A and B are shown apart, each in its own frame.
Chain A
């Protein structure tokens, strides 16, 4: 899906913890999330810490949308 969205001209960051799967399909912007069952959070943190973590992860994802060319 990431690849088709990117092909349509919409930069797309794929946030997943199965990075190798995403790489194999040819996605261009791949970011590793916190964990498979909660990519944008962590139930082991308290609510404030978790929200700060989520904000950091979101900033990281947005940064990847700005990158102009991820080709090696």
Chain B
């Protein structure tokens, strides 16, 4: 029987929600949580011998140390393969899966650059998970939706891939049928660069035969674009554009600064109905003559981090109290009279960019010189 180690966060390990996100790495015997279903799907050829876990906050805040400890726990279980997740749209969980997978190996026979072990690894998360961008070129990532609703379908696809990765043929160079990725840069012979296997595209180029020559395809694309119809480029560009930094503030003593947060701080009762996940809009809240943000007046509606510390003292997210001090002492000119708030978990980058453009417009109107943007 082939041996598998499964990595999950504190939640899927059954050890608690956000209040337990600070848990250090640990190990549980056998399959736990989603691992139980995965074990059933894998059948008798492969067994989950251990489940390693770590709290999401703990991993993000102690990445090096947590990765080293988790690797030790993985090694102790002597696995033939590591499976991490699925993390779906959860950013911190996805980053942990990505970090551990990259340290543990990669495609069969082709560990990621800098990996400390070289076992086959597989993880699963949504294409928009920040962890996905970090590893999709080096590590196979099963594509998922944003929430655990499609857990079963994701684990079914994962089980098929795990079986392929563990099969003897997978490691044999030149095998056109199996999962041979022994060629350079993770570009497969015999395996599509993503899609067909249910994996996230790796960003590699892959040779294929098509019936029409490049000139014809290019003209068709151009005509489709001119007609405003649907078109699919053959070479998608990276979605993020570089920007030039704005000029810095010359004289803080005469500058006005605004406060923006993606930590979901709103007046108690959430009058604008800011969503705790997949936010679509932001709220603008007047600071009035407040010297600080009182726990009786404000709360965080963010659904992706443990909000107790912020709810106890909202200045821990939006540091109004000490900024008032700075203004009084003259080291800062003043504060914009509103703060802006939304939740950043699961929010698509384009939606966040739209919100930021709206916020920027009102800041410009009020001649704001700089922004402190806080995120959990």
A11 to chain B, nearest CB (A): 5
Contacts of A24 in B (CB 8 A): 130, 133-134, 240
How many B residues face the partner with a CB closer than 8 A?
69
Contacts of B375 in A (CB 8 A): 14-16, 18, 22, 39
In the bound complex, do residue B349 and residue A25 qualify as a contact, i.e. CB atoms below 8 Å apart?
Answer: yes
Interface bits B241-268 vs A (CB < 8 Å: 1, else 0): 1111111111010010100101100000
Residue in contact with B374 in the complex, picked from A5, A10, A40, A62, CB distance below 8 Å:
A40
Residue B28 lies at the interface, judged by CB distance under 8 Å to chain A = no
In the bound complex, do residue A26 and residue B240 qualify as a contact, i.e. CB atoms below 8 Å apart?
Answer: yes
Residue in contact with A39 in the complex, picked from B317, B357, B361, CB distance below 8 Å:
B317
In the bound complex, do residue A3 and residue B248 qualify as a contact, i.e. CB atoms below 8 Å apart?
Answer: no
Contacts of B322 in A (CB 8 A): 51, 54-55, 58
Closest to A43 in B: B309
Residue B323 lies at the interface, judged by CB distance under 8 Å to chain A = yes
In the bound complex, do residue A18 and residue B91 qualify as a contact, i.e. CB atoms below 8 Å apart?
Answer: yes
Q: How large is the interface on A (under 10, 10 to 19, 20 to 34, 35 or more residues)?
A: 35 or more
Q: When chains A and B are docked, how far (Å) is the Cα of A15 from the Cα of B190? A: 45
In the bound complex, do residue B248 and residue A11 qualify as a contact, i.e. CB atoms below 8 Å apart?
Answer: yes
Contacts of A43 in B (CB 8 A): 309, 312-313, 316
A71 to chain B, nearest CB (A): 7
Closest to A13 in B: B372
In the bound complex, do residue B368 and residue A10 qualify as a contact, i.e. CB atoms below 8 Å apart?
Answer: yes
Within 8 A of B (CB), among A1-39: 1-18, 20-22, 24-26, 28-29, 33, 35-39
Known contacts A17-B60, A54-B315; 18 additional CB pairs below 8 A are: A1-B353, A2-B356, A8-B246, A11-B247, A11-B249, A11-B369, A12-B371, A14-B375, A21-B95, A35-B57, A36-B61, A38-B310, A43-B309, A58-B323, A65-B257, A65-B369, A65-B372, A66-B250
